Copies of this chain bind each other. A is one copy, B any other.
Amino acid sequence: MSRLSINSMTVRSWGVRELVDGCARAGIEAVGLWREPVAEAGLASAAKLVRDAGLRVSSLCRGGFFGADPGLVDNRRAIDEAAELGAPCLVLVVGGLPEGSKDLRGARQRVADAIAELGPYAGERGVQLAVEPLHPMFCADRAVVSTLGQALELATALPADQAGVVVDTYHVWWDPQVEAAIAASAGRIASYQICDWVTPLPADVLLGRGIPGDGHIDFPPLTAAVVAAGYTGDIEVEIFNEQVWAADPATVIATIAARYQELFADA
């Protein structure tokens, strides 16, 4: 249980204070934070709440969305926030195609350029950029980085203290190359996020993520590959799901903790 982290989006009705209290009560040692609830709590207050409770911040979500305008000012601000929160990494959801554009290759190049631009700034502040491949169904509108192999190529253009990759089971489980790509990511895994792929997909495919064990993903081989690649960080549960959001957050955390012990005992 010492590596389990609860991402704030999983218990979305909770602010930072309730998240920190709820996790501390449940014996969970780490939290993943999103910028919006951190801003609501106030950055310094959020950092203090986590610190005072003796918790770690496993990641800050999120930077990225490098569109026609890469938004470097806001991305630098996100890096600053991650540094102040003591988050080891800032998760980058890189953005889809700009409005009206079909130039996927160009969009991918702009992502590489933006990451190269931000890397030194992040590294100087002790924050690793965590390039997250999103499931290919989000390629047009949320992230033109679609596979772990592609994310790794982007990350390895920079030194390891500046950029790594996110392995999120939901986004990569289908990939015939996933185990090879995880192995190739040794020393570059910034974050391991877990949630399940449930079918049928809901009307809004953004909200189809399930609690591990509720869907189709076989977690142990993925976790074993991540462990074999030398990842020793937190294992973060990030779930977007209307039913999970409607449930009592403490119950959700208890369910997740039970599933974690069942499915991630090897970690």
Contact = CB atoms under 8 A, between A and B. Distances in A.
A141 B205 contact: no
A131 to B, nearest CB: 13
**How many copies, total?**
2
B141 A199 contact: yes
Nearest to A216: B140
Given A141-B199, A205-B137, A217 B102 contact: yes
A135 B205 CA distance: 14
Interface string A164-197: 0000000001111100000000000000000001
A174 B103 CA distance: 11
- Say which size band chain A's interface belongs to: 20 to 34
A174 B201 contact: no
A124 interface: no
B216 A205 contact: no
Nearest to A141: B199
Nearest to A104: B218
A176 B201 contact: no
Contact of A176 (B108, B217, B221): B108
A54 interface: no
Contacts of A150: 176
A180 to B, nearest CB: 12
